[in-house]
A and B are shown apart, each in its own frame.
Chain A
Amino acid sequence: KNEVEQSPQNLTAQEGEFITINCSYSVGISALHWLQQHPGGGIVSLFMLSSGKKKHGRLIATINIQEKHSSLHITASHPRDSAVYICAAGRWGGSEKLVFGKGTKLTVNP
């Protein structure tokens, strides 16, 4: 079993829909990261969180430490949100290395 599991693997939505991507992890973490990768390769860090909730524009990330679960929400989705979203866990104990989920490919149709 992978230490970081994401669901769903693929997600297709219509423009304007509310989207949720889930991430479960089995390791003790210092922080949970959400990353975005557009076609072409470049990866951008969206959020890094260790408790509660963070919001940036239409994106919201939440984490439940007790349940070892995090969600990424996109409100009022738009075709430009189409990308692969990757969850990554920073292991507890001072390790800077991340454990990555396999990613969720999101397609938002106009």
Chain B
Amino acid sequence: DVKVTQSSRYLVKRTGEKVFLECVQDMDHENMFWYRQDPGLGLRLIYFSYDVKMKEKGDIPEGYSVSREKKERFSLILESASTNQTSMYLCASSLAPPGGYEQYFGPGTRLTVT
């Protein structure tokens, strides 16, 4: 059974803290994604990684960075958390191109920044 796991389901952090969200997949997928989901805005891509140490900015990368040191693990880092980063964060993975491959999602982390 394919699996994408995320380090926390719920997280509460203070403004200015450095926050790490971790995602692990056990499917040997090349691609990994970080999204945030907000009411009325849908899913928006923050960062995408297509290989170890390789990354590409998504639609809303400002305030975030990522790290992929191992194929199965993709971390999202909020360098200095702000209240407007309160959101649901979802990780996903998929096989490499050709395009159109199914994405497998983790359960999500609901982050609240106070």
| A interface list, Cβ under 8 A from B | 30-31, 33, 35, 40-45, 48, 50, 86, 88, 90-98, 100-103
Contact partners of A41 in chain B: CB under 8 A: 88, 90, 107-108, 110
Chain B 20-57: CB-based contact to A (< 8 A → 1; otherwise 0): 00000000000101000000111111001010000000
Chain B 78-95: CB-based contact to A (< 8 A → 1; otherwise 0): 000000000010101010
Q: Are A31 and B103 in contact (CB under 8 A)?
A: no
CB within 8 Å of A: which of B56-114? Answer: 58, 88, 90, 92, 94, 96-108, 110
Q: Are A101 and B42 in contact (CB under 8 A)?
A: yes
Q: Are A94 and B105 in contact (CB under 8 A)?
A: no
Known contacts A43-B90, A44-B105, A45-B102; is A97 also within 8 Å of B110 by CB?
no
- How far is A95 from B104 in the complex, measured between Cα atoms in Å? 16
Q: Are B97 and A94 in contact (CB under 8 A)?
A: yes
Known contacts A93-B99, A96-B97; is A86 also within 8 Å of B48 by CB?
no
**In whole Å, how far is A35's beta carbon from the nearest beta carbon of chain B?**
8
Residue of B nearest to A48 (CB): B102
- How far is A92 from B90 in the complex, measured between Cα atoms in Å? 24
**In whole Å, how far is A104's beta carbon from the nearest beta carbon of chain B?**
11
Q: Are B107 and A98 in contact (CB under 8 A)?
A: no
Contact partners of B102 in chain A: CB under 8 A: 33, 45, 48
Partner of A30, one of B94, B100, B103: B100
Contact partners of B94 in chain A: CB under 8 A: 96
Partner of A97, one of B58, B96, B105: B58
Q: Are B98 and A100 in contact (CB under 8 A)?
A: no
Q: Are B100 and A31 in contact (CB under 8 A)?
A: yes
Known contacts A96-B31, A100-B42, A103-B42; is A45 also within 8 Å of B101 by CB?
no
- How far is A101 from B40 in the complex, measured between Cα atoms in Å? 10
Q: Are A97 and B107 in contact (CB under 8 A)?
A: no
Partner of B101, one of A43, A44, A96, A100: A96
Known contacts A33-B102, A41-B90, A43-B90; is A97 also within 8 Å of B45 by CB?
yes
Contact partners of A100 in chain B: CB under 8 A: 42-44
